[in-house]
Amino acid sequence: MSESEAWKAGNSIRREVLGDDYVDRSYSAASDFTRLMVDYVTEHCWGTVWTREGLDKRTRSLVTLAMLAALQQENEISAHVKGAVRNGCSVSEIQETLLQAMVYCGIPAGINAFKAADKSLREVAEQSGRK
């Protein structure tokens, strides 16, 4: 697959939000079979949607966290909490977003989201303490 402009823009913003380490691990872990999916997500999710001007990155991060909580996607919540912090979201904003999601998505989904977010926020705090 040739790298389209959307893929290039998506790769750039994906790295900005999730970090080079996360994106590099994603590509390293991709098999011949799953590489198509990783490229698709990079081009269409990150390159087409995340680059739009209608919402800023902070808002996109919070909306994404709410949807991931609804879907009970703890692994993705972990990555996107770190991205939300990179995008300037406060711990309080992340907490309020997950509480809002809990009310509408259910207590079990909210509990799982809070646990995943807490773990990620602790990792962020540890990493920033080392720098």
Q: Mind listing the pLDDT tens digit for each residue in 7-45?
A: 999 999 999 999 999 999 999 999 999 999 999 999 999
Asked if 70 and 123 sit in the same domain, the reply is: yes
Say whether pLDDT at 131 is over 60: no
Confidence at residue 130, expressed as pLDDT on a 0 to 100 scale: 59
Instruction: Give the domain CATH number at 100.
Output: 1.20.1290.10
Say whether pLDDT at 1 is over 50: no
Per residue in 10-25, is it b (16+ CB within 10 Å) or e — as a string? bbbbbbbbbeeeebee
Asked if 45 and 60 sit in the same domain, the reply is: no
Asked if 60 and 121 sit in the same domain, the reply is: yes
Asked if 85 and 131 sit in the same domain, the reply is: yes
Asked if 76 and 46 sit in the same domain, the reply is: no
Q: Give the ranges where 57-106 is alpha helix by DSSP (H).
A: 57-70, 74-86, 91-105
The model's pLDDT over 57-92, given as tens digits with 9 standing for 90+, comes to 999 999 999 999 999 999 999 999 999 999 999 999
Query: What pTM value is reported for the model?
Result: 0.90
Asked if 43 and 100 sit in the same domain, the reply is: no
Asked if 70 and 28 sit in the same domain, the reply is: no
Tokens of 58: 């902070």
Asked if 125 and 61 sit in the same domain, the reply is: yes
Q: How many domains does the chain have?
A: 2
By the 10 Å C-beta count (0-12 exposed, 13-18 middle, 19+ buried), 48 is classed as middle
Residue among 117, 14, 6 nearest 60 (CA) = 14
CA distances from 1 to 4, 14, 29, 40, 109 (A): 9, 19, 18, 10, 37
Q: What domain range includes position 109?
A: 55-131
Asked if 82 and 18 sit in the same domain, the reply is: no
Asked if 40 and 92 sit in the same domain, the reply is: no
